[in-house]
Amino acid sequence: MLVIVAPGQGSQTPGFLTPWVADPVFAARMRWLSAVAGMDLIHYGTEADADTIRDTAVAQPLLVASGLVAALELFPHPADAFSKIGAVAGHSVGELTAAAGARAITAEQAMVLVRERGRAMADAARQRQTSMTAVLGGDRDEVLAALERHGLTPANDNGPGQIVAAGTREQLDALKADPPAKARLVPLQVAGAFHTEHMAPAVDVLADLSRAVSTHDPRTPLISNRDGQIVHDGQEVVRRIVSQVSNPVRWDLCLETMRDLGVTGILEVPPAGTLTGIAKRALKGVETFALKTPDQLDDARAFCERHGTPSGYDTNPTWRMVVSPAKGTFHASDTCSEGDLVAAREPIGAVQSLRDRTEVTAPHGGTVVEWLVQDGDLVSPGQPLLRLHPEGVPA
């Protein structure tokens, strides 16, 4: 099973787009997304220096546009992608890349959202001196305790041995003076404490803007940064992208869901390397492919052929299904029987895992046609649970 992942801020390097824009089709698509973003993304990806592309307002649109256009190079016909990709995920701002790739939103909507996201987060970062530090190694519980002791947020939980602390400069200095045992601290060159309460003003900006975004249910299972759950409702995808700005990225839980799905291959779109590096450590035995330059495209397509299988969404219309957000035991609602009319957002049951209990709701209203699982069944992330006939559609 193939998972496509999109990296987040910090993965960009000066000139990483140079070999890509030699292709006139790639360059034309980048110019189109540059027009939507209101900035020359080709210049930033080929000529700008490291300090310039470190700017949040520049880095985020550059990353999303690069990932989307590279994905079109990999899958020139999107229908081909839906027949091969088992799931998609994006780290932090990469979640916008993943959402557009899964067709929950359009590429143009993603570029408007990321443009405003980058600006709003940069503005929020200027209100107080904050930053982030990677904590590598050490005992997980001791690392988390040290962060709590110094008032820091574990803003990125990237898997075994890699947690990113975020907070004020004073809090980070205190952590440096009193680090957790056997851990190495690496200050990150970022402009603020992303995915913390310090980004709350940016959430308000995006929440207002997102009300005008029309959505579709993802055509491919989308794994959420918030909790590693599969999100099947397009509106919920956007809500999570908005709230995630001030909440931690739980990439560790995304990796758990990939394992539960049975992933065999992970391909990272440009600028690639960070997420495949994490996957090599966390998912032993899973093959990875970091797509960095266009001369790798033939090998990348062969990689996708080798690992690709349809997600199941392509043969089952998403507007008629409710799917499991997580792995666990499914408990059906006793008020939801075949023939019943279910309202939009109405609970139809819950998935109980070792970690927590997750309520499952119907993203759209409709009549229950058939249950695809029974009460007490073990379910996996993205597994169809219930088939609905939509309201207002002739039978």
Which CATH code, of 3.40.1410.10, 3.50.50.60, 3.40.366.10, 3.40.50.10740, is assigned to 2-124+197-307?
Answer: 3.40.366.10
Is a pLDDT exceeding 60 seen at residue 89?
yes
Which residue among 150, 195, 307, 364 is the active-site one? 195
Percent over 90 (pLDDT), the chain:
78
pLDDT, tens digit (0-9, with 9 covering 90-100), for 12-28:
999 999 999 999 999 99
Q: What is the DSSP string of 105-131?
A: S-HHHHHHHHHHHHHHHHHHHTTS-EE
pLDDT band at 355 (very low <50, low <70, confident <90, very high): confident
Q: Which CATH architecture has domain 319-390?
A: Beta Barrel (2.40)
Say yes or no to pLDDT of 38 above 60: yes
- Beta partners for 164? 134, 156
pLDDT at 382: 87
Q: Which residue spans of the chain are classified as CATH 3.30.70.250?
A: 127-187
The yes-or-no answer on residue 83 being catalytic is no
Task: Work out the pLDDT band at 394, boundaries 50, 70, 90.
Answer: very low
Instruction: Give the whole-angstrom CA distance, residue 337 versus residue 342.
Output: 9
> Token digits for 268?
């990272």
Q: For the residues 99-116, what does the mean pLDDT come to?
A: 96
pTM of the shown model: 0.88
127-187: CATH architecture:
2-Layer Sandwich (3.30)
pLDDT digits (tens, 9 = 90+) for 204-260: 999 999 999 999 989 899 999 999 999 988 999 999 999 999 999 999 999 999 999
* Residue 223: strand pairing partners: 230
| pLDDT confidence tier of residue 302, bands split at 50, 70 and 90 | very high
What number is the average pLDDT over the span 320-324? 85
Measured at the CA of 239, the angle between CA 115 and CA 7, to 5 degrees, comes to 55
Residues of the chain with CATH 2.40.50.100: 319-390
CA dihedral 76, 67, 109, 36 (to 10 degrees): -90
362 pLDDT band, cuts 50/70/90, is: confident
Spot the catalytic one: 92, 131, 224, 311. Answer: 92
Q: Check whether 2 has a pLDDT greater than 60.
A: yes
Catalytic-residue membership of 331: no
* Per-chain mean pLDDT for the chain: 92
Looking at residue 395, its pLDDT comes to: 45
Three-state DSSP class for 271? coil
pLDDT tens by residue, 265-282: 999 999 999 999 999 999
The pLDDT of residue 85: 93
- pLDDT at position 339 is 84
Picking from 77-86, 150-159, 235-244, 281-290, which range would have the lowest pLDDT averaged per residue?
Answer: 77-86
Average pLDDT over residues 95-109: 96
- How far apart are alpha carbons 65 and 28 in whole angstroms? 12
Q: Which residues of 343-374 are buried (b: 16+ CB within 10 A; e: fewer)?
A: eeeeebbbbeeeeeebebbbbbebbbeebbbe
Residue 366: the pLDDT is: 86
Check pLDDT > 90 for residue 82. Answer: no
DSSP 343-375: -TT-EEEEEE-SS-EEEEE-SS-EEEEEESS-T
Lowest model confidence (mean pLDDT) among 3-7, 52-56, 168-172, 355-359: 355-359
Residue 331 has pLDDT above 80, yes or no: yes
pLDDT tier at 364 (50, 70, 90 boundaries)?
confident
Residue 91's pLDDT is: 97
pLDDT greater at residue 391 or residue 262: 262
Helix (H, G, I), strand (E, B) or coil at 314: coil
